[in-house]
Copies of this chain bind each other. A is one copy, B any other.
Amino acid sequence: MEEFKVIEIKKSIFEDNDKDADNLRQELKENGTFLLNLMSSPGSGKTSTLIKTIELMKNDFKIGVMEADIDSSVDANKIAETGVKTIQLHTGGMCHLDASMTRQGITELGTQALDVVFLENVGNLVCPAEFDTGAVKNAMILSVPEGDDKPLKYPLMFSISDAVIINKIDTAAVFDFDFEKAKQRIKALNPKCEIFLISAKTGQGVAEWAEWLRREVENYNVQ
Residues of B within 8 A of A72 (CB): 152-153, 155
Instruction: Name A145's closest neighbour in chain B (CB-CB).
Output: B145
Whether A70 pairs with B123 at a CB distance below 8 angstroms is no
Total contacting residues, chain A, CB less than 8 A: 34
Q: Which of B74, B95, B143 contacts A95 (CB 8 A)?
A: B95
Please judge, given known A-B contacts A125-B123, A171-B145, whether A153 and B41 are in contact too, CB under 8 Å: no
Q: Bits for A113-135, please: 1 = Cβ < 8 Å to B, else 0.
A: 00000000011111100100000
A203 in the interface (beta carbon within 8 A): no
Do A153 and B93 touch (CB < 8 A)? Answer: no
Contact A43 B123 (CB under 8 A): no
Asked if A154 CB lies within 8 Å of chain B CBs, one says yes
Copies per assembly: 2
Complex contact B127–A126 (CB within 8 A): yes
Q: Which of A93, A95, A150 has the most B CB atoms < 10 Å from its CB? A: A95
Question: Nearest Cβ distance between residue A141 and chain B, in whole angstroms?
Answer: 12
Q: Is A69 an interface residue (CB 8 A)?
A: yes
CB distance from A142 to the nearest CB of B (A): 8
Complex Cα–Cα for A22 and B175 (A): 40
- Option from B43, B69, B175 in Cβ contact (under 8 Å) with A171: B175
Q: Is the CB of A70 within 8 A of B153?
A: yes
List 5 A-B pairs, minimum CB-CB distance, nearest first.
A43-B146, A145-B145, A95-B126, A41-B42, A41-B41
18 residue pairs from A and B, CB less than 8 Å apart: A41-B42, A43-B146, A43-B147, A70-B126, A70-B153, A70-B154, A72-B152, A72-B155, A93-B126, A95-B124, A95-B127, A124-B124, A124-B125, A143-B145, A145-B145, A145-B171, A170-B174, A174-B174
